[in-house]
Amino acid sequence: MKILVASKNSKKLDELEKILSGILDDFKLVSLRDFPDIEEVEETGTTFLENALLKAKTYSAKTGLPTIADDSGLMVFALNFRPGVYSARYGGEGMSDADKCVKLLGEMKPFSKDDDRGARFVSAVAAAKPGGEVVFSIGTCDGIIITEQRGDNGFGFDPIFMPEGYDKTFAELDENIKNKISHRAKALDEIVKFLPDFMNKSE
């Protein structure tokens, strides 16, 4: 059986596949890159969960495949929890990840103390089947925004986010460590407890 991972982001797909490896070995993972004619879902939700559910349900209905969708982003406490659900669109369409980090670091200049630079990555993961049945989970990872970009791994705001208990950014950490402690890993850890049964269960 095929499962659609509702993303075209190659780095996110790679991360999801590595976290899910060994759990869904009986399934073949495909992505939105395998469905180039499907119109992209507009993320109109006001929360990560609303967007994850919207994407999972819509793409499952359009493809006829059980679908896993993730919506995630960074909430910076000093910035009134921005960029939040607009993380992917922060700075405008077409802005590179590196430039987004530069823009965010600029906004954080007035906050010099670590206590004022707290942030939280959030990931909502939803799984949907063509009949409309859904399951979902939410994972978070707290940390701080550092003052410069560090590291070449990961994507998005990873080079400026240092998780609690570590002295390296997400972009500096070994991927095996990140894939255990990240917001996305925590959300998937929760959902995979019942995901195989959910995928195999009749509508």
Looking at 14, 34, 71, 142, which residue is catalytic?
71
Please return the burial class of 22, using the count of CB atoms within 10 Å of its CB with bins 0-12, 13-18 and 19+.
Answer: exposed
Q: Which residues of 83-106 are buried (b: 16+ CB within 10 A; e: fewer)?
A: bbbebeebbeeeeebeebbeebbe
Count of CB atoms within 10 A of residue 118's CB? 16
State the DSSP code for 129: -
Please check whether residue 125 is in contact with residue 52, taking contact to mean a CB–CB distance below 8 angstroms. Answer: yes
174 catalytically annotated: no
Neighbouring-strand partners of residue 74: 121
Token pair, residue 154, equals 């990961």
What gap in Å lies between CA 102 and CA 82, rounded to an integer? 15
Please check whether residue 66 is in contact with residue 128, taking contact to mean a CB–CB distance below 8 angstroms. Answer: yes
Label residue 142 left, alpha or beta by phi (over 0 means left) and psi (-120 to 50 means alpha).
beta
Residues classed as catalytic: 71
